[in-house]
Structure 1
Amino acid sequence: MTPLLSVENLSIGFGDAEPVVQNVNFEVAPGETLALVGESGSGKTVTCRAVLRILPRIARIATGRITLNGGEAPLTLTELSERKMRDIRGDRVSMIFQEPMRSLSPLHKIGNQVSEVLWLHRGMSEKEAKREVLQTFDRVGFPDPERAYGSYPFELSGGMRQRAMIAMAMVSKPDLLIADEPTTALDVTTQAQVLGLIKELQQEIGMALILVTHDLGVVANMAEKVVVMHKGRVMESGSAADVLRAPAHPYTQQLFDAAPAIPDRAAVGLPMPGDDLILEMKNVSKTYTMRAGSAWKPEVKIHACRGVDLKLARGKTLAIVGESGSGKTTAARIALGAELPDPGGEVLFRPSGDEQQIAVHQMTRAARTAFQREAQMVFQDPYSSLSPRMRVLDAMTEPLEIHKIGSTSEQRDKAAEMLQRVGLNSDMLKRFPHAFSGGQRQRLSIARAMMLDPSLLVCDEPTSALDVSVQEQILTLLEEIQERLNLSYLFISHDLAVVARIADEVAVMRQGLVVEQAPPETLFYNPQHPYTKALIAAQPEPDIDRPIDLKLVAQGAGSPDNWSEAFRFSDTVIPSLIELEPGHKVRRHV
């Protein structure tokens, strides 16, 4: 069979420096999935951008040839004019980018941005394009496609923005889809459904797929071919079955060793004791009022959290797990005092075992300043959590300056000490954030959060944007810091393998409600709620013989109306969170 795309001896450099991608070769046939696997900096994304000719101006294709077949005649993409390339981009070849906030215009509504592809390449009317876009929005998992169509990017969560990017790339049904980490920002249930959707489209229209990823579980579920890259070179390539069952290169084996997985029962931690609580949330709810789509429609009330009751013991880790929009981050912001709960909710914080509890939801300005020294946050995106205009030293010492702690030299010494604690060199204080990799930036974010010697860290998806090997380093770092300093973690995540490793207790949230809560060894091996079962079933494993059960995922992650009668809930009828056994709570009708 003639390949749809062939890449031959491709080398790419920047300026006069040595090529960063050297002698890359691969082919992908119609309807076939090729996975490009490797860590950040391995050259995967640069290789894919060369296919669409969207490299930075300083970049140059030193050698090689990229050929697209399937039309009236083969097209050599490396030789086409820019005008002809515009006809190919978004039509015959589409790309899903990793960072949706940078790829979507903040000034235009999501629906218009996705419809643009159909206006330009299909000549559809606005009405026809809207109908097609709404159908695609429904297929990629938008709970309310009409609302998403009229929303701006900043009104959607990171996961929802990524779904919009996926819809934009697939709405034109291209011959070749290049997906650059398309599911990194998605929760595991949505990831499973999106991967299933891409497979369906491939079967329907014979679409080829180049999947850029570092997740070997995704590779095992999607790919027929695998190309493993490291530092711009191909380390290993072949069929997915051969590479995954018997990796020949040490680098491929290293990726396998770093891949997170839900461990055996014996490897999971003990239940979290409840005697010395550092944080307690009682009956916490949060309701937002959203503008309607038009002036004559009533405002829409969004219940982000409903009746959340959580307890975090000192020196332990409580993980909150759920899909995008489940209320995880809202609960974390309320715990930090960044949002106030609805009347009737309480957030209580005890700095140390012999001090009085502080009502976080009723703090004065002075009390809030003191509380901020005790509770800090590590954000999801290491690229946007540090100011690009501030040197590392200035970013690190800023919290000390705000709280008027120490002299200039003492602040500098403290910053150097914290960098060493997170495995970085104090010589890096003079650099700007752009000089660091994603893993190093996340280490910087952790070091900055540690500058005030807090007793509580709220970690909001701290590893979701990182490669598996870097993720392993960050989790090890968090564990070491917790053991050394007796820190308490409120850990927000959608990755159950990460949660199984680090958590002492897990609360599963869906549509603002805690639907199940238990220690990991109970939750992962005796799940009761259909949504919990879907989360576990959706976790991809790097085993080609154990594919994701999409039916189980779709049932548990779908509408509550599809659940058995005991677990169903609605806006007006919400079952209680009952204790099935000591420490194991499930939201169900008695």
Structure 2
Amino acid sequence: MTALLQVKNLTISFKSDPPVVDDVSFSVNAGETLALVGESGSGKTLSCRAILQLLPKTANVRSEGVFLNCNDAGALNLSALPRKQMRDIRGNRISMIFQEPMQSLSPLHRIGNQVSEILTLHKNISNRDAKTQVLEQFERVGFHNPERVFRAYPFELSGGMRQRAMIAMATVAKPDLLIADEPTTALDVTTQAQVLGLIKELQKETGMSVIFVTHDLGVVANMADTVVVLHRGSVMEAGRVEYVIGAPAHKYTQKLFAAAPVIPAATTPEPPVPHDDVILEMKSVSKTYHVRAGSFWSPSIDIKAARDINLSVARGKTLAVVGESGSGKTTCARMVLGAEKPDEGGRISFCGEKGGEVLDVNNLQSDQCALFRQQLQPIFQDPYSSFNPRMRVVDALTEPLDINNIGTRSQRRDRAVEVLEWVGLDSRILYRYPHAFSGGQRQRLSIARALAMNPVFLVCDEPTSALDVSVQDQILCLFEDLQKRMGLSYLFISHDLAVVSRIADEVAVMHRGQVVEQAPPCTLFHNPRHPYTQALLAAQPEPDINRPINLEVVAKGAGSPDSWPEMFRPVESKSPPLTEIEPGHRVRCHA
């Protein structure tokens, strides 16, 4: 089969440092998918950026050539093309989906205009026709209201929705080669399954080739024809997916598979989590946002981000909240943190010490507010953007103590050293800046900063989604160790069900602002009753080529509630109640 793209002996270095990509070669055939797999810092993204000449000027790139096969003009050496010709290639012949969409989208332009620009520049079509094609693509990548997204600015969308917009931008022009750099990292599993299905569908329609950069071995098993495993800039193993996935030969590849989280086999159902000592409780909590309409004279639109949420977290336990992007998970987390106020009638209670004062989170006095901020701390999804790039580690870790007037300057520094040791980092890094660390190290720093105030409750918003499998395993071990050692309680938000099955004591599944099913993980994952929960489980990719994602089940459960079986459907726009069908297992259904 003819290779569409060939990368020969690629080496990348910066200044006089040793190469970060060393003699890497790979090729992707027309219509096939190549997966580049490896840990953070292994050279996957740099190799892909080198194809499109998107590396910084400080990079020294050496290779025998990067050849794109053009049927009309033979092989084109991309590494030797002038910038003007490369602009004709980018977005047209070769598109790239970047991992962090907020850095790739212009904050000053509407999403629809940015995606339409690809078509008006490269396909020479009218704005009206471009908008029609963009709206169709928005619908295919899972947007429920394409018109609203077309008019929206990037900051008005969630992380998962921005990633969907990036995927639509990269695929709307139907390129010959799509380079997807961790394109599903920020997506929930149902949207991920739909996007993977969309990419496969586009490949069948147009013969498009794909280079898929990922650390998710389940995605590799479902998407790839060939696999290249990278480690510290060198190729460790390469070959057809059935050989690399089915019988990995290199020790590093075997190590990656050992670290990959999987949903465990069914065991004896666990007893429900006791709720006699509750640290956090949400009662009848709803949240409505008033969003401006598309025109000045139109009335604002009410969006119900959360509806009648009733959740509680037992002291020393972990409640995991799962669901697709836009289901209300992060809205609930923000209300728990006191960053958002719920609608009138809802109440959030927090009791930091057993038998202590119960705080009303939404009506805190000034002295109560200081105590609450110390006892409850957040850990964010993207550790890089949550750190000030101009602050050294020691300043970032001691700032919360400084603001709350806790300890002397030397005591704060000692505390910073102590929490660094808790998360497995050396005190010698205190005077470095955030950019000097890998993603996994930055996430450890984020956890250390949260621990500096000696909290009793952590709100973890997708804390492992951007990490490769081996670093993710280390962070999960750290969470488990801290909970045992310090008795911490967690509200853990995630879209990775394998991660949730490992860390959670109880799981709540959210869909469009409502909890639709709640149970201990063993019960929920092996006896799911709600069609949406069944879709989440069907969409979870497994590192086994013989167990592909069942897109039919995913589409059925993740689609409109009107398509669900009758006992789960809303009646006159009113959802059925959350009913306990067995001890500790509640499902939103008609009795």
Q: Structure 1 length as normaliser, TM-score?
A: 0.99
- Tell me the distance in 2 between the aligned counterparts of 1:270 and 1:430: 47
State yes or no: 1:261 paired with 2:262. yes
Counterpart position of 2:532 = 531
Larger deviation, residues 560-569 vs 509-518: 560-569
- Tell me the distance in 1 between the aligned counterparts of 2:126 and 2:94: 22
Counterpart position of 1:249 = 250
Kindly state the Cα deviation for residue 21 of structure 1 after the two structures are TM-superposed: 1.0
Larger deviation, residues 319-328 vs 11-20: 11-20
- Tell me the distance in 1 between the aligned counterparts of 2:122 and 2:39: 35
Aligned length: 590
- In 1, are the aligned partners of 2:70 and 2:76 still within 8 Å (CA)? no
State yes or no: 1:355 paired with 2:356. yes
Helix, strand or coil at the partner of 2:355? coil
- Over 3 Å counting, the alpha-carbon distance change for 1:136 and 1:50 in structure 2 is same
Counterpart position of 1:218 = 219
Larger deviation, residues 376-385 vs 569-578: 569-578
Counterpart position of 1:568 = 569
Counterpart position of 2:7 = 7
- Tell me the distance in 2 between the aligned counterparts of 1:123 and 1:147: 25
Q: CA-to-partner distance for each residue in 1:527-582, whole Å, 9 max, x for gaps? A: 00000000011110000000000000011011111111111127831110010001
- In 2, are the aligned partners of 1:270 and 1:504 still within 8 Å (CA)? no
Counterpart position of 1:51 = 51
Counterpart position of 1:435 = 436
- Tell me the distance in 2 between the aligned counterparts of 1:406 and 1:507: 39
AA in 2 matched with 1:8: K
Kindly state the Cα deviation for residue 363 of structure 1 after the two structures are TM-superposed: 1.1
Kindly state the Cα deviation for residue 264 of structure 1 after the two structures are TM-superposed: 2.2
Counterpart position of 2:235 = 234
Helix, strand or coil at the partner of 1:430? coil
Q: Structure 2 length as normaliser, TM-score?
A: 0.99
Q: How does 1:256-405 map to 2 (within 5 A)?
A: 256-266=257-267, 271-405=272-406
Kindly state the Cα deviation for residue 496 of structure 1 after the two structures are TM-superposed: 0.5
Kindly state the Cα deviation for residue 98 of structure 1 after the two structures are TM-superposed: 0.4
Counterpart position of 2:447 = 446
Helix, strand or coil at the partner of 2:212? strand
Counterpart position of 2:488 = 487
Q: CA-to-partner distance for each residue in 1:189-228, whole Å, 9 max, x for gaps? A: 0000000000000000000000001111000000000000
Counterpart position of 1:29 = 29
Larger deviation, residues 265-274 vs 106-115: 265-274
AA in 2 matched with 1:40: S
Identity, in percent, stands at 64
Counterpart position of 2:38 = 38
Q: CA-to-partner distance for each residue in 1:271-321, whole Å, 9 max, x for gaps? A: 321110001110000000000001232211000110000011000000011
- Tell me the distance in 2 between the aligned counterparts of 1:277 and 1:67: 61
State yes or no: 1:469 paired with 2:466. no
AA in 1 matched with 2:85: K
- In 2, are the aligned partners of 1:187 and 1:323 still within 8 Å (CA)? yes
Kindly state the Cα deviation for residue 265 of structure 1 after the two structures are TM-superposed: 3.0
Q: CA-to-partner distance for each residue in 1:480-513, whole Å, 9 max, x for gaps? A: 0000010100101111000000000000000000
Kindly state the Cα deviation for residue 459 of structure 1 after the two structures are TM-superposed: 0.4
- Tell me the distance in 1 between the aligned counterparts of 2:414 and 2:589: 53
Helix, strand or coil at the partner of 1:265? coil
- In 1, are the aligned partners of 2:269 and 2:523 still within 8 Å (CA)? no
- Tell me the distance in 1 between the aligned counterparts of 2:99 and 2:22: 23
Q: CA-to-partner distance for each residue in 1:146-179, whole Å, 9 max, x for gaps? A: 0000000000000000000000000000000000
Counterpart position of 1:67 = 67
Q: CA-to-partner distance for each residue in 1:423-448, whole Å, 9 max, x for gaps? A: 00111111111111110110011010
Q: CA-to-partner distance for each residue in 1:129-160, whole Å, 9 max, x for gaps? A: 00000000000001110000000000000000
Kindly state the Cα deviation for residue 267 of structure 1 after the two structures are TM-superposed: 9.2
- In 2, are the aligned partners of 1:347 and 1:359 still within 8 Å (CA)? yes
AA in 1 matched with 2:37: V
- In 1, are the aligned partners of 2:36 and 2:228 still within 8 Å (CA)? yes
Unaligned runs of 5+ in 2: none
- In 2, are the aligned partners of 1:519 and 1:584 still within 8 Å (CA)? yes
Counterpart position of 1:416 = 417
- Tell me the distance in 2 between the aligned counterparts of 1:71 and 1:376: 57
Unaligned runs of 5+ in 1: none
- In 2, are the aligned partners of 1:11 and 1:64 still within 8 Å (CA)? no
- Tell me the distance in 1 between the aligned counterparts of 2:133 and 2:389: 39
